[in-house]
Structure 1
């Protein structure tokens, strides 16, 4: 195979980041200071895949670490509780709760937690240090074999730098008691590099009950090797505790019982910690590419929440404690090799993955002021997900290329209930398997236009406590079991226009069908499997580097989500809280000592119940970030969040609750259906000073 064509075939197979290096004789390792570049014509496999470049997402002001996922077009990250809790995510017609159907990895380690104490697929990114992220690679839809659990709507992959341009220390102060210290640096001797970072953060927020966030974070990485072969070992440690203001009923604000930033339970909050050790090894040559990685994670989580107040327990209140104690182990290996099929040049990619979760305790307890009153569930869970996949890419001609692939997943699990009344009946073990075929086709219409067709099946796993349950632990009544793995099917037609490296316009028309929808349950503050659903939508993105200084980004996403089949009596077919419209616009200026970024995000109204009789309000957010390099060492920064002072809401739900006043006044009557909201934070400014050594 001619070398030029050989490299072209390799480029076709690799996502975003590899596109930056395919023009060279050897691939650059991930430890390079420069992050991945966006997908391009001739290398992309769908219109909705890509990579956010470092210059784009690093310049954006970020209220929380998880906001970095908004670098993925169409994704919205909000919050409905304290800053130690995972973000609330929206994408492609989904209210993804805290991560279900949106897979997130950091440094090849999974962030989503199955069978989690708070919600299935819980993806807490608060351990992330955004300044260390080299790039955000993303895909949407179940079209690629190396994407597994929780990736039906999409996936985002983030890597840390292996080396920094220079060591630095940064201090940030902001309104409402925000303070942050960050120090990071690296040292390279020959082919060996050490990188370290430490972060300390505190925040009270605008809430009437101060959040009192206390957060500590550290990273240490050692990497060694050349551009073609090397390895890295990374340790991370994170700890956080906070007091949260959860969502409150709109009626309490309207009546004056609460201020907009008030709380009905000042003892809500939590604490969490995450310690990990991971390693990666790669070998890249003209013949192919091999990657092997492994990780071990120790995770602790305690959360106290109260969503219904005094509805279920008029005396002690409805506060719940959710706990999670687990260790996560995993490994994955992949190999890509050039081949020929029927005289056509191709690339064969195959791999295997394993993830094992050893959950010592996943619990749900009824509490009052963080004191346990009774045990609803206390389980010990062991689960292993084994996966294998293979994908064949083929260049049919200079204009046509495509791929077919197959992924197989087998889940084995063992649930042991330790709550004495219903625990034994809800225990059990089992297994489930699923096969997921994938396919894609790309046609280069002209050097500036490319068309794509993608189809595939994928899956998400359910909370395994639901796969072994026989009796409802609160009522004692019989309960239906749910499948451990739920299939989804997706298709997409896309177009990419790229007349040069400084301008990209993409559009995609997509649909996704799920065999079982995960829906929000207000009285438990969690999700449960529901009816089958169907989604479809259209999205477009524009990335334009206007000149040396100016960069423009525009995103638009329209979605429609409905349950399939005949609706039960009293219900409709709208999917609760499914996002319908998302628009985002950003402009970045970088020239000389000045860098500035202005970012607008619009989250449109959506149905809050299945009949569409109650809809959320829209929420528009405008953020501004500015940096000025005083000299080669000192850089001053200013971030202003919610610049326009919008009074929108980060999240809205519609369900029944009962306040203490309604209990005393006798007006509860089984609960008052109402809109429950968590407001966006008001206009807030933060100033920073960075000293580069």
Structure 2
């Protein structure tokens, strides 16, 4: 029987068209612990949206906090530097660098950082405490009006619990001097709940230069209310510092001059801090839902990197420092209400969003052993993104439904250069705006089969320093400005098959056209705007509950990424480092005192240059985790990462570099082009003991 026949009419339409979004915000413990419901036939608006099952992503072994984003089908999260740095992300034909074109939110706050010191859209999830995550919901493509900046390839919303079943303390020890302490608990009196957590982490990693990661993390939340009306206030504090082993030339590893886990600069590394205060208020009922989010963040970042060694400066080396000092303020208000257009039932959603970044310093400096030698850029930036959106969903008949939406964004920015030579010439202010239409059509063939057609326009913002630049600060030559907002158009045809509550499969054919590609620049450790591009691909997922305690998950994706138009002399049309094939599959077992998980992830070869003359190697990773509840209080755990002991690489780039020895021998010339690799970690184990009070 269809959902519409089991619920009052107006509420049923709202549940069908916006159900997953309504489910994820409640503050009652029994709702939050379950997390958001996955998209199903009758509630989904596309084949590529959904919500990960909490028990499954919590059971998966996680080498780093950011690995939780791999709960989103088709996403790969790796690392090419120290564990205090944001992950490297791949999705839908993108090397997303550290987050561009993939929007992430944690507890209603955006994670991506525009005009960031290291890269546009930088999304650092290292402040995340995975055990507190109640749900991971996701969407692919620019098809929904409430998705903002960086959501061209997709978006993920990570929600935190408001209450725990019981307070607990957990200690973890592992290979390479890994140690972690997590203590968390909550207390509820009537409709008022306090939740607190503290996390301390240390890790040296397998690197010849110990990582010496030191991380402190804390969260405190107060929530009050009922499923229909309530609010919460959350404070978070995070601080970490680390040494980093960045990617190294493969030629040195092959010749034996450098160990596989060696470093060419022992002083690389960084520090990061993030402090936030946020609030949520909601009111929902049969007449509609209203929600308001507000947040404030203080963010500090210092990163020392060296990717080309002695290519540009044969005397002092090529190490550079990137800094970011900012305060972020934001607010979002939304309302959803059942309505009628003529004889058609529907749901109207509309809202407003504002984000303001006040960047006191975003800088780039030449350094040696973390000591500044000269200033390349030092800017003060203010930028505000104001957005309005509306989306109308309609039920046309028993089988047909759909939606249309429109989003408007206006970006205002001001750049004040403080480097004395080129800074004043690269200063300026301006604004850019864009209207983004969205639409979707859904056809329910049978109660087991549903088809989707989605299309929309979206955007990513560019680093606004590129919108005011006139001179290259390194060469002094004229530089071309870039638009502050870069548009993308996408569409998708999808199918969802759900014969019962135990099996669900989806297939999506998609394409995406970008007006401006962001390309990694190896010798600068950042990104720059590039040519327009086309991407297309196919994705498939399978969720199968084999028995009460056993579940199989399979995610497969293939994509093709090309630049548009005639390539410049000596270049081709392959988008370098664009992911092509991804396969993730796993078995999860939860029965009685046992919880087990075995996950395999395959990242296929990809072009490392625009001519496709150099390709990366494939990467296969197998992780295993098991938990055993000895009694109601004590749970023991074991995680084994890279179970098969593969010698793959987390990241590969192809560019020119030069070592001190190559300079001394006269072999450097204009640089030696080579693969530069950051190996994935070898087999390692972690054991844990959790005491529940």
TM-score (norm 2): 0.98
Q: Does 1:216 align with 2:216?
A: yes
Q: Are 2:344 and 1:344 equivalent residues in the alignment?
A: yes
Equivalence for 1:237: 237
Counterpart of 1:415? 415
In structure 2, the partner of 1:623 is 623
Shift of 1:33: 2.3
Distance 1:198 1:225, change over 3 A: same
- Asked whether the equivalents of residues 27 and 162 of structure 2 are also in contact (C-alpha less than 8 Å), the reply is no
Distance in 2, matches of 1:197 and 1:38, equals 27
Are the structure 2 counterparts of residues 79 and 69 from structure 1 closer, same or farther at C-alpha, using a change threshold of 3 Å? same
Distance 2:467 2:24 in 1: 44
The change in CA–CA distance for 1:510 and 1:649 in structure 2 (over 3 A counts) is: same
By how many angstroms is 1:20 displaced? 8.6
Pairing of 1:247-286 with structure 2 (within 5 A): 247-286=247-286
CA contact (8 A) 1:562 1:573 kept: yes
Deviation at 1:386, TM superposition (A): 0.1
* Counterpart contact for 1:287–1:338, Cα < 8 Å: yes
Q: Which runs of 5+ in 1 are unaligned?
A: none
| Residue 577 (structure 2) aligns with | 577
Cα deviation 1:328-359 (Å, max 9, x = unaligned): 00000000011100210000000000000000
Q: 1:395-428: CA deviations, max 9, x gaps?
A: 0011100000000000000000000000000000
Please state how far the C-alpha of 1:37 moved relative to its aligned partner.
1.4
Q: Report whether the alignment pairs 1:12 with 2:16.
A: yes
In the other structure, the counterpart of 1:453 is 453
Report the counterpart of residue 56 of structure 2 in structure 1.
56
Alignment of 1:278-357 (within 5 A): 278-357=278-357
Q: What is residue 358 of structure 1 aligned with on the other side?
A: 358
CA distance, structure 2, for counterparts of residue 647 and residue 11 of structure 1: 48
* Cα distance in 2 for residues equivalent to 1:184 and 1:6: 40
What secondary structure is seen at the aligned counterpart in 2 of 1:137? strand
Question: What is the alpha-carbon distance in structure 1 between the residues aligned to residue 522 and residue 663 of structure 2?
Answer: 19
The separation in 2 between residues aligned to 1:497 and 1:490, in whole angstroms, is 23
CA RMSD of aligned residues (A): 1.3
How far does the alpha carbon of each residue in 1:212-260 deviate from its partner, in whole angstroms, 9 at most, with x for none?
0000000000000011000000000000000000000000111111100
Matches within 5 A, 1:357-436: 357-436=357-436
**Where in structure 1 do 4 or more consecutive aligned residues deviate above 6 Å?**
26-31
Measure, in 2, the Cα distance between the counterparts of 1:293 and 1:510.
32
TM-aligned CA deviation for residue 502 of structure 1: 1.4
- In the other structure, the counterpart of 1:228 is 228
**Cα–Cα, structure 1 residues 20 and 356, in superposed 2: closer, same or farther, change >3 Å?**
closer
Distance 2:655 2:27 in 1: 53
1:659 paired with 2:659, answer yes
Q: Is the 8 A contact 1:300 1:325 kept in 2?
A: yes
Counterpart in 2 of 1:586? 586
Within-5 A mapping of 1:163-202: 163-202=163-202
Q: How far apart, in 2, do the equivalents of 1:33 and 1:474 lie? A: 52
**Does the aligned pair in 2 maintain the 1:17–1:38 contact within 8 Å?**
no
TM-aligned CA distance change 1:342 to 1:27, over 3 Å: farther
| Pair 1:528 & 2:528 matched | yes
Q: Which moved more, 1:437-446 or 1:7-16?
A: 7-16
Alignment partners' CA distance in 2, 1:98 and 1:667: 33
Equivalent pair of 1:12/1:43 in contact (CA under 8 Å): yes
State the 1:53 CA deviation.
Answer: 1.3
Secondary structure of residue in 2 paired with 1:181: strand
Kept in 2: contact 1:551–1:587 (CA 8 A): yes
Q: Does 1:557 align with 2:561?
A: no
Residues matched between the structures, number: 689
Q: Is 1:504 the counterpart of 2:508 in the alignment?
A: no
Inter-partner Cα distance in structure 2 for 1:570 and 1:14: 49
Q: Distance in 2 between matches of 1:109 and 1:29?
A: 21
The CA deviation at 1:4 is 2.2
Query: 1:118 aligns to what SS in structure 2?
Result: coil
2: CA distance between counterparts of 1:452 and 1:153?
Answer: 18
Give the deviation of 1:32 after TM superposition. Answer: 2.7
Aligned residues of 1:19 and 1:43 also touching (Cα < 8 A): no
Distance 2:29 2:389 in 1: 23
Query: Residues 259, 27 of structure 1: CA spacing in aligned structure 2 closer, same or farther, 3 A cutoff?
Result: closer
Map 1:16-95 to 2 at 5 A.
16=20, 18=22, 32-95=32-95
Structure 2: gaps (5+ residues): none
Corresponding position of 2:567? 567
Q: Which residue of 2 aligns with 1:514?
A: 514
8 Å Cα contact 2:300-2:324 kept in structure 1: yes
Separation of aligned partners in 2, 1:147 and 1:17: 12
Equivalent residues of 2:634, 2:690 under 8 A apart: yes
Encode CA deviations 1:109-152: one digit per residue, 9 max, x unaligned.
00000000000000000000000000000000000000010000
- Compute the displacement of 1:547 (Å): 1.1
- The 3-state SS of whatever aligns with 2:494 is strand
Structure-2 separation of matches of 1:251 and 1:531: 31
1:28 Cα shift? 7.0
> 2-side partners of 1:376 and 1:501: how far apart?
58
Instruction: Give the match's secondary structure for 1:661.
Output: helix
Instruction: Classify the secondary structure of the residue corresponding to 1:670.
Output: coil
> Is the 2:29–2:164 Cα contact (8 Å) retained in structure 1?
no
Q: Distance in 1 between matches of 2:500 and 2:184?
A: 36
Distance in 2 separating the partners of 1:60 and 1:570: 45
State the SS of the aligned residue for 1:14. Answer: helix
TM-score (norm 1): 0.98
Q: Deviations over 1:578-632 (max 9, x none)?
A: 0000001010011111110000000000000000000000000000000000000
Aligned to 2:679: 679
Structure 1 residue 500 displacement after superposition: 1.2
d(CA) in 1 for partners of 2:306 and 2:27? Answer: 51
State the Cα deviation string for residues 462-490 of structure 1 (Å, max 9, x = none). 00110000000000000000000000000
CA distance in 1, matches of 2:455, 2:501: 28
**Residues 27 and 285 in structure 1, CA contact (< 8 A), matched pair in contact too:** no
Whole-angstrom CA distance in 2 between matches of 1:56 and 1:629: 17
What does residue 548 of structure 2 align with?
Answer: 548
Provide closer, same or farther for how the CA distance between residues 178 and 207 of structure 1 changes in structure 2, counting only shifts above 3 A: same
